[in-house]
Amino acid sequence: MRPEDLPEIRHLHLFRDMTQANFEALMTSSYALNFPQGLEMIRQGDPADFLHIVLEGSVELFARWGGRECTMAMVQPVSTFILAASIRDAPYLMSARTLERARIILIPSSDLRAMFRRDTEFSVSVINELAACYRSVVRNAKTLKLRNSRERVASYLLRQSILAGGVVSYTLPVEKRLLASYLGMTPENLSRTLKALEGDGLKMDGARVIITDRAKLTALAQPDKLIDGPDVAGNENGAGLPSTRL
């Protein structure tokens, strides 16, 4: 591991509050790996021997079943992934592959489990992180069950705009193909939906998103703090924690 990696990891919520000695202990048993693009570094069903942290590049979490495949999440630096499996010492429920060349830290699960018995602040951090992850997946499930594809697309695009600081125009952070899978639809359907949203306040130019009428698009997407996260302008409810990635 490179010395300049450590401060970045230390800044994560998960590791911010533990003692310096314990942090260093955890890091000495860990190591860093550089993966090429498109490499499947985690295969669902394998034992979760390591907690992973993306330092550079980006990672796709996806799931397979009976020949089908779908994107579950996209992980950008700096964040951890598959914490739950590491903790339960259980098989990964999702696979992971690099979307671009990526630098990944691996922390042995057993060290992790030992550590939160020793460091109370760390265990509190783990609890908070897990609770946040849980809520994130619940939001995901809600959007899948309550919204149709058109609404999912519109709310996704709006949310991205808001996370980027309320900008009118931005570039999609991922390929449309991937986005389609994440939103639970086919690439063809996404393509058509994007075209159909012209006239509802949206304009696409390749991977460039242009919000031509935010009010109109918002009326269609009906962003909700209990689905899209507290940062989205919207309705009456809620307050409080980071929204879903991707």
Q: Which residues bind its own copies (CB under 8 A)?
A: 44-45, 63-66, 68-70, 72, 83-85, 87-91, 93-94, 116-117, 120, 123-124, 126-128, 130-135, 137-142, 144-147, 184, 222, 224-227, 236-241
Whether 122 and 115 have beta carbons less than 8 Å apart is answered as yes
207 binds DNA (CB under 7 A): yes
Segment (H or E) for 7 = helix 5-10
Q: What's phi and psi for 143, nearest 5 deg?
A: -65, -35
Report the C-alpha gap between 179 and 85 in whole angstroms. Answer: 25
How do the residues of the chain divide into helix, strand and coil, expressed in percent and rounded to 5?
45, 25, 35
Minimum gap (Å) between residue 103 Cβ and its own copies: 25
Question: Using CB distances below 5 to 8 A depending on partner kind, what does residue 70 bind out of DNA, its own copies, none?
Answer: its own copies
207 binds, among its own copies, DNA, none (CB under 5 to 8 A by kind): DNA
For the record, the structure tokens of 87 come out as 């903790």
Q: Taking CB under 7 A as the rule, does residue 184 contact DNA?
A: yes
**Token pair 């089908």: residue:** 68
User: Counting every residue, how long is the chain?
Assistant: 246
Question: Residues 13, 101, 135, 192: which binds DNA (CB under 7 A)?
Answer: 192
User: What minimum distance in Å lies between the beta carbon of 169 and its own copies?
Assistant: 27
- Which secondary-structure segment (H or E) carries 211? strand 208-211
Residue selected from 3, 21, 117, 188 as contacting DNA according to rule CB under 7 A: 188
Q: Which does 2 bind (CB under 5 to 8 A by kind): its own copies, DNA, none?
A: none
DSSP string over 147-214: S-HHHHHHHHHHHHHHHTTS-SEEE-SS-HHHHHHHTTS-HHHHHHHHHHTTTTTEEEETTEEEES-H
Q: Is 197 among the residues that bind DNA (CB under 7 A)?
A: no
**Which of the listed partners (its own copies, DNA, none) does 132 bind, with a CB threshold of 5 to 8 Å by partner kind?**
its own copies
- Does 190 engage in binding with DNA (CB under 7 A)? yes
Is residue 77 close enough to count as binding DNA by CB under 7 A? no
- By CB under 7 A, which span of 57-65, 78-86, 182-190, 232-240 interacts with DNA? 182-190
Between CA 206 and CA 1 the distance in angstroms is 39
**Interface contacts to DNA, rule CB under 7 A:** 148-150, 175-178, 184-195, 204, 206-207
